[in-house]
């Protein structure tokens, strides 16, 4: 085992131990029996954590949810679309310094054209489960997520792919930001320092629809417009996140016609970077100047843009829905109310999964506290 793998193994073990200690302390405190406790951990740890009965539940995105279900160790008690129907999840963002490149805006529009075509290809493939493209979609999904075809086939049933940013999209982003303000994760003073009187102004400025508005009219290119390695679009995305399948589809040469990927069809040299663990880490990648265009959840994109002034713009949607609350298959937990006095694992306090769970528990009058 090399040094990197040793470090990773130690980090994973430490995370598991710390989460276990937090859970034990929460349960020992008893929490007056009126709240739901949470620990945060990477979704890749959640399945094993639940299967070993170290936590009562977890909330995560696909394919982690369906992986537990197909394995027979987990059962979904609520999908996030039951909390907020058709809620946006992942978005496409672009670094403003990339836009300032002489060719940055043209390359961004072309990237979105490939993103649009990838979404259309996914929709067509999903519409005909007997087609060769559906089989290819399952193969690509399994390859990207490192899950079995059975798991990704189940997961794809719960994800809505798309690219448009309609009024529902904008309204949801404003609701997410309102919750951040209400819980003081983002302050009104921070928004004022950025030059905004309210949340609505902040989101309207952050979401840039101008590139998407012209992307569908882009023609294919016979040449790669940014061929040099140093000019490649550095693409950031999350590890094994089925929500971000469009960028993986756009890299596939079969989808592009056999000789070129969709990115190449539209003249792009795209460098898919090592995947990031979560949206917060990906936003840090933007801050460090390591990423040009990235796929991540909307809430961490909002939070880091506001609090750390990470200079990116939201330029398209990647998907909606596609997350769920999972309990052990044999659990006596069937409703949100049954989670009272229990511990649930979430991917992090700035993730959309954590935020939507907080919304659902708040509506039910149930406190949500760190274990």
Tens of pLDDT, residue by residue, the chain (371 residues): 444 334 334 444 444 455 555 445 444 444 457 999 999 999 999 999 998 888 899 999 999 999 999 999 999 999 999 999 999 999 999 999 999 999 999 999 999 999 999 999 999 999 999 999 999 999 999 999 999 999 999 999 999 999 999 999 999 999 999 989 998 899 999 999 999 999 999 999 999 999 999 999 999 999 999 999 999 999 999 989 999 999 999 999 999 888 999 999 999 999 998 899 889 999 999 999 999 999 999 999 999 999 999 999 999 999 999 999 999 999 999 999 999 999 999 998 888 999 999 999 999 999 999 99
Half-sphere exposure of 204 (CA within 13 A, CB side): 7
DSSP annotation string for 97-123: HHHTSTTHHHHHHHHHHHHHHHHHHHH
User: What pTM was computed for the model?
Assistant: 0.89
Report how far residue 15's alpha carbon sits from residue 18's, in angstroms, rounded to the nearest whole number: 5
Report how far residue 176's alpha carbon sits from residue 172's, in angstroms, rounded to the nearest whole number: 6
* Beta-ladder partners of 238: 276
Half-sphere exposure of 37 (CA within 13 A, CB side): 22
Helix (H) or strand (E) holding 77: strand 74-79
- State yes or no: cis peptide before 142, omega within 30 of 0: no
Domain positions in the chain are 3-82+326-370, 90-320
pLDDT at 28: 44
pLDDT at 30: 40
For the stretch 219-275, pLDDT in tens is 999 999 999 999 999 999 998 999 999 999 999 999 988 899 999 999 999 999 889
The distance from CA 185 to its chain's CA centroid, rounded to whole angstroms, is: 19
Report how far residue 92's alpha carbon sits from residue 297's, in angstroms, rounded to the nearest whole number: 9
Beta carbons within 10 angstroms of residue 71's beta carbon: 14
CA-only gyration radius of the chain, Å = 21
Burial (CB count <10 Å: 0-12, 13-18, 19+), residue 4: exposed
Report how far residue 23's alpha carbon sits from residue 44's, in angstroms, rounded to the nearest whole number: 18
Helix (H) or strand (E) holding 246: helix 245-249
> Phi and psi at residue 157, in whole multiples of 5°?
-70, -15
For the stretch 118-159, pLDDT in tens is 999 999 999 999 999 999 999 999 999 999 999 999 999 999
Pair 338, 70: CB distance under 8 Å: no
| Structure tokens that stand for 215 in this block | 């992307």
Beta carbons within 10 angstroms of residue 242's beta carbon: 27
From the list 113, 58, 120, the residue with the least C-alpha distance to 245 is 120
What is the DSSP code (8-state) at residue 37? E
> Phi and psi at residue 271, in whole multiples of 5°?
-105, 100
Contacts of residue 206, Cβ cutoff 8 Å, sequence gap at least 6: 173, 302, 305, 313, 314
């Amino acid at each position: 085992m090399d040094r990197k793998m040793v470090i990773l193994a130690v980090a994973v073990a430490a995370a598991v131990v710390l989460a276990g200690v937090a859970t034990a302390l929460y349960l020992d405190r008893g929490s007056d029996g009126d709240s739901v406790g949470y620990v945060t951990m990477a979704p890749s740890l959640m399945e094993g954590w639940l299967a070993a009965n170290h936590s009562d539940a977890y909330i995560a995105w696909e394919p982690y949810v369906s992986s537990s279900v197909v394995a027979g160790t987990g059962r979904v008690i609520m999908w996030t679309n039951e909390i907020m129907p058709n809620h946006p999840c992942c978005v496409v963002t672009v670094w403003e310094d990339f836009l300032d490149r002489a060719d940055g805006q043209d390359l961004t529009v072309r990237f979105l054209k490939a993103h649009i075509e990838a979404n259309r290809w996914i929709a067509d493939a999903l519409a005909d489960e007997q087609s060769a493209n559906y089989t290819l979609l399952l193969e690509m999904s399994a390859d990207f997520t490192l899950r079995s075809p059975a798991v990704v086939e189940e997961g794809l049933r719960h994800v809505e792919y798309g690219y448009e940013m309609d009024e529902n999209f904008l309204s949801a982003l404003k609701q997410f930001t309102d919750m951040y303000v209400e819980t003081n994760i983002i302050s009104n003073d921070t928004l004022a320092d950025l030059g905004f009187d309210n949340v609505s102004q902040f989101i309207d400025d952050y979401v840039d629809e101008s590139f998407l508005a012209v992307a569908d009219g882009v023609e294919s290119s016979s040449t790669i417009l940014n061929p040099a390695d140093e000019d490649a679009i550095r693409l950031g995305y999350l590890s094994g996140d089925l929500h971000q399948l469009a960028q993986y589809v756009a890299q596939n040469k079969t989808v592009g016609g056999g000789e070129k990927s969709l990115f190449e069809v539209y003249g792009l040299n795209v460098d898919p970077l090592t995947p990031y663990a979560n949206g917060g880490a990906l936003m840090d990648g933007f801050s460090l100047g390591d990423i040009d265009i990235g796929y991540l959840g909307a809430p961490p994109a909002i939070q880091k843009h506001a609090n750390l002034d990470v200079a990116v713009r939201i330029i398209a949607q990647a998907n909606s829905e596609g997350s769920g609350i999972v309990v052990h298959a044999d659990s006596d937990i069937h409703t949100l109310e049954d989670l009272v006095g229990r511990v649930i694992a979430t991917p992090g306090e700035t993730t959309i999964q954590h935020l939507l769970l907080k919304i659902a528990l708040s509506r039910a009058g149930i406190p949500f506290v760190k274990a």
